[in-house]
Structure 1
Amino acid sequence: MSRRKSRITAFQGLYSWDVGGMSEKDVLELNWVESNSTEAREGDENEAEESAPKAKFDDESAAFTRMLIAGTIENIEKIDETIKAHLTNWDFSRVNKVTIAILRMSVYSLMFTKDVEPSIVIDEAIDIAKNYGPDDSYKFVNAILDNIKKTL
């Protein structure tokens, strides 16, 4: 499984934790993940791609996903403070919950992981926002993450 699919799974887990009331323990166990649920549905995929074998949720992917989820939850106050500091003319409570989950995971990566280039973190967040977020949320995600990257 690719890191992109792990990020999508982590974003989905963080959303479930925040909105769905799923416990941190349950989210981290990843039992809710089906082997094919992390396949990104990007645009209009052709039937050949949809019928292709689905990626397996291997140990390395599970570990990366758990690291993103656990790290984000563990540092949620600092992450939310950082996001709030970069919101201009927006109240944190008004930001869409899908967008918040994407931002939280990405801000965690920018602040606490040094093995991935910030540009990759931001590009991945934009792509996830394009596929899962409300219309044009990717522009909002890009602006917030780019400003945060500049201050780190």
Structure 2
Amino acid sequence: MSTALTKMQTSVQKKPIRCKSRRRIAREFVLQGIYQWRLAGGSAGSIEEQLRQAGEFIRADELFFTNLFKGVMCDINNLEKTIQPFLDRSLTELSPVEYAILLLSTYELIHFLEVPYRAIINEAIELARTYGGSDGYKYVNGVLDKLAVKLRVVETASKM
């Protein structure tokens, strides 16, 4: 198992265990996969296989995980281009956790239109609070709020 994935799983174990939805668990695994890829490289297929072997994976929404992880990994360049204009720094300056959360949340905003944008942003904030730096969730929230206005024009206009 890679060092990046082990480090991420260790930080997961330090947090109090709460009842999580199957989709939340799937998002956590997607976050771990992107994090590992960003720090250690490797193929998406081998990373996915490692994640699927984790004990808690059985509790994840497998179809949601597959669609989200494969979608993000196949579309990283476009996702980065979509995110970059909303950042106050380069992508390389983002923490690996913030980077991963922004990628997976942007993919959800674009491709999972049945999920309300506020739910996607709230999930991203929770991931950032759990796995990110002390104020990382504020940054993620700010970026995704602006991004949602661009990507979900009709939905965000009706909420304002």
Q: Give the TM bin, normalised by the shorter chain.
A: 0.7 to 0.9
Quick one: distance in 2 between partners of 1:134 and 1:31?
23
Query: In structure 1, which of residues 13, 20, 23 is the aligned counterpart of residue 43 of structure 2?
Result: 23
Aligned identity (percent) is 31
Q: Deviations over 1:114-136 (max 9, x none)?
A: 12111111000000000000110
Q: Distance in 2 between matches of 1:31 and 1:4?
A: 15
Q: 1:32 deviation in Å?
A: 5.3
Deviation track 1:76-113 (CA, whole Å, cap 9, x = no partner) reads 1111011111013x222111111100110000000122
Alpha-carbon RMSD across the aligned residues, in angstroms, is: 1.7
Equivalent pair of 2:22/2:59 in contact (CA under 8 Å)? no
Question: Looking at both structures, which has the greater relative contact order when contacts are Cα pairs under 8 Å and sequence separation is at least 6?
Answer: 1
**Cα displacement string for residues 45-77 of structure 1 (whole angstroms, at most 9, x for unaligned residues):** xxxxxxxxxxx346xx12211111110111111
Structure 1 runs of 4+ aligned residues shifted over 6 Å read: none
Sort the Cα spacing of 1:73 and 1:136 in 2 relative to 1 into closer, same or farther, 3 A: same
TM-score, L = length of structure 1: 0.79
Amino acid at match of 1:66: T
- 2:130: which partner in 1? 131
Structure 2's unaligned 5+ residue stretches are: 1-20, 152-160
Q: TM-score, normalised by structure 2?
A: 0.75
Q: Give the match for residue 103 of structure 1.
A: 102
Q: Is the 8 A contact 2:98 2:140 kept in 1?
A: yes
- Give the number of equivalent residue pairs: 131
Matches within 5 A, 1:66-145: 66-88=66-88, 90-145=89-144
